[in-house]
Amino acid sequence: MKPFNKTILAVAVTLASSQTMAAGFLLNAQSATGVGRAFAGDAVIADNASVLARNPAAMALFDKKQLSMGLNYADVEVTVSDVYIDSQLGEIHYGGVDDAADAKIIPNFYYVSPVNDKFAYGVALFSNFGTGTDTTDLSTQLVGGTLPAPLDLLGKTEVTTLNFNLSASYRFNDHFSVGAGLDMIYGEGTLTRGGTVPTQAGSIEQELVDVDADGVAFGGIIGAVYEINADHRFGMSYRFSPDFKASGDINIYNPQAQAAVAFDEINIPLPDIFQVAGFHQLTDKFALHYTAQLTTWGDFHELTVNDGTLGPVSVGSSSLKTYAWDDSWLFSVGGTYSLNNTWTLRAGFMADEGVVGELSSISIPDSDRKWYTAGATYALSTNTSIDFGIAVVRGEDVHLIENSSVTGGLPIGPNTGLVNATTRSNATYYSMQYNYTF
C-alpha cells in the first residue's frame, strides 16, 4: 500500500470533515400542521402547541393548556450518478448509487400551559438537525483490478439530533408578547470512510475514518409576537445554536505509524436560525400566512478534533478543515381554509436555498429545493383533533467536481484527482399529529 501512504492522511482529514458536514442539514419536520402549510406562519399562527418549536412568545396566544404530539416519516431519495475521472486513458467510470439515503421517522412532543393572563410555560421535544447518506457501494471496487475509487469522498454518514426545550412567555398588553427558552441538544453520529485499495499482494480493505460519537450541548431561543388585532399578527424568533462537542470512538488513520489516531472529541459549530412570520385572517373561512427564515450556515466555518493519542503519544488538537458555506434563506407562503366545523384544509409552497456554495460534495447532495405541501385537520371533538400533512420536496440535478487525494495519486494523468459526479436529493414527508385542549 506504499503508493498511497503519502496521501492517506490528507484523505482522512477530508473524510472526517465531509462526514461531519452532513450534520449541517436543517430538518423541517417539527409538526404535521407545519408540514401541511410549508411551515408558513408557523412562528405566529399558534393553532396548536407545536408553535413552541418556532417561537416561545406565541404561547401567550393560548388561554388553555395544549398538548400536541406526532410522527413524521421522511422518505428521502438521494442519487449519485455518473461518477468518473479524466485520465490519459480516457474517462474512468465508477458508476453510481440510486438510493444513497434511508427513510427516517422523526417524532415530536409539545405541551403549553398558561399560568394566568400574563405568563405561560411550555416543554417540547423535537429535532432541528439530522441526515443520513451511504455511498459505500462505490468504494469497494477496483477498476481494471488496479484503480481504486475515490474512497475519501465516499462512505456512510448517519447523524441524529434531539432537542429538549423549556420555554416561558410573558404578555405585556393586548398587542405585544415576548418569550425565551433553553435548548438541550443531544446528538449522535456514525461516520465511516474507507474501501478497497490495491497492494503488491493484491488488495485490502483500508479503514480511513471510523467515528461513533455522541454528546450534549446547550442553546437557546428568544421570540416576540405583535398583534395588530385578533386577525392580523406578526412573529419573530432567533435560535442560538451551540458549538456541538461529540465524544466517543473517533479514529483517523495515520500513514506514518500505519495505525489510527484516537481522538476524544469532535467540535461542530451549528448555525443560528432567525425567522419572521405573518398571519392574516382575511375572511371568516380563509387565512393567509408566510415565513422568511435565515440559517447562518456561514458560522459553520471550521471543524476540529481534540485530545488525540497514538499509543502512549499525545497528539493534542487539530483543525481538520475550514469551509466557505453560505447563509441560507427559505421563503414560504400558505393558506388555511375552514371547510366546516369538522375539517380544516391547508396548503403551502416553500423555496429553500441550498447551503453549499462553490465547494460541493458527493457525500452532501445539496441544491435549491421546492416544497409543495398540503394538509388537513379533523376535529374529533371540541377538545381533540388529528392533523395530517404531506410535503413533496424536489431538488435539482447538480454536476459537481470534487478533489480526491486517492485518485489524484494515480500515475495516469495530471487531472485524475478531479472527480465528476451528478447528485440529486428529493424527499416526501408524511406527517400525523394528535392535539388535545385541556
pLDDT at 180 over 50: yes
Domain count, the chain: 1
> What are the start-end ranges of the H helices in 30-71?
32-36
Cβ-based neighbours of 432, under 8 Å, separated by 6 or more: 32, 70, 71, 386, 387, 388, 389
- Residue 261: the pLDDT is 85
Which of residues 250 and 385 earns the better pLDDT score?
Answer: 385
Which of these ranges, 23-32, 88-97, 374-383, 419-428, has the smallest mean pLDDT? 23-32
- pLDDT, tens digit, 9 for 90 and up, residues 190-244: 888 888 888 777 778 888 888 888 899 999 999 999 999 999 999 999 999 988 8
Pull the grid cell for residue 265. Answer: 472529541
Q: What is the mean pLDDT of the chain?
A: 86
Q: Is the pLDDT of residue 121 over 90?
A: yes
Percent of the chain with pLDDT over 90: 45
**Which residue's entry shows cell 430538518?**
27
Poorest-pLDDT segment among 15-19, 166-170, 269-273, 388-392: 15-19
Would you say residue 94 has pLDDT above 60? yes
pLDDT at 13: 37
280 φψ region: left (φ > 0), alpha (ψ -120 to 50), beta (else):
beta
pLDDT at 9 over 50: no
What are the angstrom distances between the C-alpha of 263 and each of 21, 69, 154, 213? 18, 38, 21, 11
419: enclosing H helix or E strand = strand 418-437
| Structure confidence at residue 364 (pLDDT) | 67
- Closest residue by Cα to residue 61 from 231, 219, 196, 208: 231
DSSP-assigned states of every residue in 124-189: EEE-SBEEEEE-GGGGS-EETTTEEP-GGG-EEEEEEEEEEEEEEEEE-SSSEEEEEEEEEEEEEE
* pLDDT score recorded for residue 363: 67
Predicted confidence at residue 5, as pLDDT, reads 38
Strands 142-143 and 130-134, bridge-based pairing:
unpaired
- Can you tell me the mean pLDDT for 38-63? 96
Q: Comparing 54-58, 181-185, 268-272, 427-431, which segment has the lowest mean pLDDT? A: 268-272
d(CA 116, CA 17): 49
Q: Can you name the residues that pair with 263 across neighbouring β-strands? A: 250, 308
Least confident of 34-48, 91-105, 317-331, 384-398: 317-331
**Which residues contact residue 406 at a Cβ distance below 8 angstroms, ignoring those fewer than 6 apart?**
4, 7, 11, 148, 149, 150, 151, 152, 197
Q: Residue 317: what pLDDT?
A: 78
**Residue numbers of the domain that contains 89:** 2-437
pLDDT of residue 149: 85
Q: Report pTM.
A: 0.88
pLDDT band per the 50, 70, 90 thresholds, residue 109: very high
Which of 247-261, 351-365, 415-429 tops mean pLDDT?
Answer: 415-429
Predicted local distance difference test score (pLDDT) of residue 61: 96
Over residues 364-373, the mean pLDDT reads 85
Between CA 117 and CA 63 the distance in angstroms is 7
- pLDDT > 80? residue 184: yes
Asked if 297 and 327 touch (Cβ cutoff 8 Å), the reply is: yes
What pLDDT does 341 receive?
A: 92
Q: Is residue 8 pLDDT above 50, yes or no?
A: no
The answer, yes or no, to whether residue 22 has pLDDT greater than 90, is: no
* Rg of the chain in Å (alpha carbons): 24
Query: Which domain CATH number covers 38?
Result: 2.40.160.60
User: What mean pLDDT do residues 31-58 have?
Assistant: 96
- Reported as a pLDDT band with limits 50, 70 and 90, residue 307 is confident
